[in-house]
A and B are shown apart, each in its own frame.
Chain A
Amino acid sequence: MTEIIWYGRGGQGAFTAAKLLGAAYALKGNAYYALAFPSFGPERRGAPIRAFTKLNIKPILDRSETEKTDYIVILDETLYSDSLKNLLKPGGKVVVNTKKKSDDNIYSFDGNSISEELHLPMFNTVMLGAISALSGIVTADDLHRAIELYMPEKIQEKNKQAVDNALKGVCR
């Protein structure tokens, strides 16, 4: 099973990204199973939140919160702390939306610049593209289909572009 924990603030779309990744993976076919859920409880704008995506090629029976994860995606760099590394499985990676330099198992990705180029107020789908490229779990096509099915029509094009630019950004 591949597990991803998302860190963001209420309103940044971390759960939407978690959900789109799950949907994109499940769209690959009948033997692809996904769960996506937010950290449970009240929702407040600006408050730190977590979201979870679990992906597997067999039905996922374990609905508990992920304790050890393959990837951590941080939408808002102020939420980063070194102790997050303790949540990683061996070989796990942290992906942070930041202009700072990468090191060891921390992969820095400047998502904000991509969003700014596209005049996109959000950077959740940029980070979705980044984690997808880095992990190879889903392709650009999978993500495009998920966006077409689960995002409002008027914001689909920009978000597909955001995913594509992030994918290119990681491969560069």
Chain B
Amino acid sequence: MAKKFLSGDEAFAEGVRLARPQVISAYPITPQTIVVERLSEMVENGSLKSEFIHVESEHSALSCAIGASAVGARAFTATSSQGLLYMAECLLYASGGRFPIVMMNANRSTALPWNIYGDQRDSISQLDSDWIQAYAENAQEGLDFALMSYYIAEHREVSTPFMVNLDGFVLTHTYETVDIPTQELADEYLPPYETDNRLDIENPKNLAFSAGPEHNYIFKYKEHRALLRAKKIIAEAEKHFAEIFGRKYTGLLETYQTEDAEYILITLGSIAGLCREIADFLRAKGKKIGVVRLRYLRPFPTEELVSAVKNAKAVGVLEKDISFGNEGTVFTNVNSALFQAGIGIPSYNFIGGLGGKNISHKDIEKIFDLIEKGAEHINFIEI
């Protein structure tokens, strides 16, 4: 393994290189651009043997990846914000066609007002598109997701596309030390993609067809079942990853000091680190608090979340998202899991970081204080 001081975008590109996609089709958009630039350089200098297809839009980028996947190729694309929304139609073609494409999304706010900074409203708006959705906390996890995502997505029991989310700028543009595995080990981890779900002249079949009311629901039911089965395959992918690379991950979510915690903050992405740091700081003052970081939103970690918070007195959810006229979507998902498990503790929603607003120490301290003392249903932390 080689250590390098890289940005999240660059680290992710290294992960993609190691996964050896046969086709890359992408359209540049801030703050994803560097991933696409690095990959095109790698193809140009021969360190990655791949067909790099320059497309005229994000809609075409994903359509192209779907076409590649439909002939059995490993395909990669990347986008952000408005680009992801422009792809929205194709997201459903990819998942409905069961094409295990991997896409990196640099989480960025959506217009209007036009804004290129990070929040998570882009990817969260697409939760129902039947893609696996994972959220990295640092550049290393981003690189590792690039490898694990193909393992999981391409698994025969899953066969579902995978969206890896990295917080715009905070992860994509921040430099840190990253371990880059060798190609040998990456090849051992991730064999070439093999599938029966492809166009094959020797064995002709119909792909991407239409299905009327009589059969359509069966396809939808199967998609749902596959995404639930992904939970098991995620665990398998991480176990295998730890055996080969020595880095361990904790499945659908990561808990911190939750065992005896009375008050727990649930969050996702790069802000989780600061939440843990503040948890340490407040624990030193005698507060019994913990943090849950959701690593996956789809499949949703229902059982793991219930088990992590069942003894708490109250929980808060901090997210960079709002479903206008209701509440944060992560909060809705968390509450549903708690309600179904019969957990009736108070829960509060904290909306922060919209349009890239910096979330500070003081903000997090205040959130922990509000979880303990009681807060509004929905709290915009900067207002």
Write the residues of chain A forming the contact surface with B, with a CB cutoff of 8 angstroms: 19, 22-23, 26-27, 33-38, 40-42, 60-65, 67, 146, 149-150
Cα distance A60–B173 in the bound complex, in angstroms = 16
> Which residue of chain A lies nearest to B176 when distances are taken between CB atoms in the complex?
A35
Given contacts A22-B5, A40-B117, A41-B116, contact A62 B174 (CB under 8 A): no
B27 located at the interface, meaning its Cβ lies under 8 Å from any Cβ of chain A in the complex:
no
B87-120 residues with Cβ-Cβ distance < 8 A to A are 116-118
Cα distance A34–B176 in the bound complex, in angstroms = 6
Q: Which of B169, B175, B270, B273 is close to A19, meaning CB atoms less than 8 Å apart? A: B175
How many pairs of residues, A versus B, come closer than 8 Å at their CB atoms?
A: 72
Q: Which of A22, A61, A63, A146 is close to B170, meaning CB atoms less than 8 Å apart? A: A63
Of B61-69, B210-218, B324-332, B355-363, the one contacting chain A is B355-363
Inter-subunit contact B117/A34 (CB<8 Å): no
Q: Nearest-CB distance from A56 to chain B (Å)?
A: 11
Given contacts A19-B5, A26-B177, contact A61 B116 (CB under 8 A): no
Q: Which of B168, B173, B176, B361 is close to A62, meaning CB atoms less than 8 Å apart? A: B361
Q: Which of B174, B356, B359, B360 is close to A35, meaning CB atoms less than 8 Å apart? A: B174
Interface size on B, residues (CB 8 A): 26
Inter-subunit contact A23/B116 (CB<8 Å): no
Which of chain A's residues have a CB closer than 8 A to the CB of B276? 61
Cα distance A44–B271 in the bound complex, in angstroms = 27
Given A42-B30, A42-B116, A61-B276, 10 more A-B residue pairs with CB atoms under 8 Å apart are: A33-B176, A34-B175, A35-B175, A36-B174, A40-B356, A62-B361, A63-B170, A63-B174, A64-B359, A64-B361
Given contacts A23-B5, A40-B117, contact A61 B273 (CB under 8 A): yes
Which DSSP category, helix, strand, loop or mixed, fits chain A's interface?
Answer: mixed
Cα distance A149–B2 in the bound complex, in angstroms = 12
Inter-subunit contact B173/A38 (CB<8 Å): yes
B274 located at the interface, meaning its Cβ lies under 8 Å from any Cβ of chain A in the complex:
yes
B369 located at the interface, meaning its Cβ lies under 8 Å from any Cβ of chain A in the complex:
no
26 A-B residue contacts at CB 8 Å? Answer: A19-B5, A23-B175, A26-B177, A33-B176, A34-B175, A34-B177, A35-B174, A37-B169, A37-B173, A37-B174, A37-B175, A40-B118, A40-B173, A40-B356, A41-B169, A42-B30, A61-B273, A62-B274, A62-B277, A62-B361, A63-B170, A63-B270, A63-B274, A64-B274, A64-B359, A64-B361
Cα distance A62–B116 in the bound complex, in angstroms = 22
Q: Nearest-CB distance from B136 to chain A (Å)?
A: 12
Cα distance A82–B170 in the bound complex, in angstroms = 29
Given contacts A35-B175, A37-B173, A61-B277, contact A150 B5 (CB under 8 A): yes
Which of chain A's residues have a CB closer than 8 A to the CB of B5? 19, 22-23, 26-27, 34, 36, 146, 149-150
Cα distance A12–B30 in the bound complex, in angstroms = 22
Which of chain A's residues have a CB closer than 8 A to the CB of B270? 63
Cα distance A23–B273 in the bound complex, in angstroms = 21
Cα distance A65–B170 in the bound complex, in angstroms = 10
Q: Nearest-CB distance from A66 to chain B (Å)?
A: 10
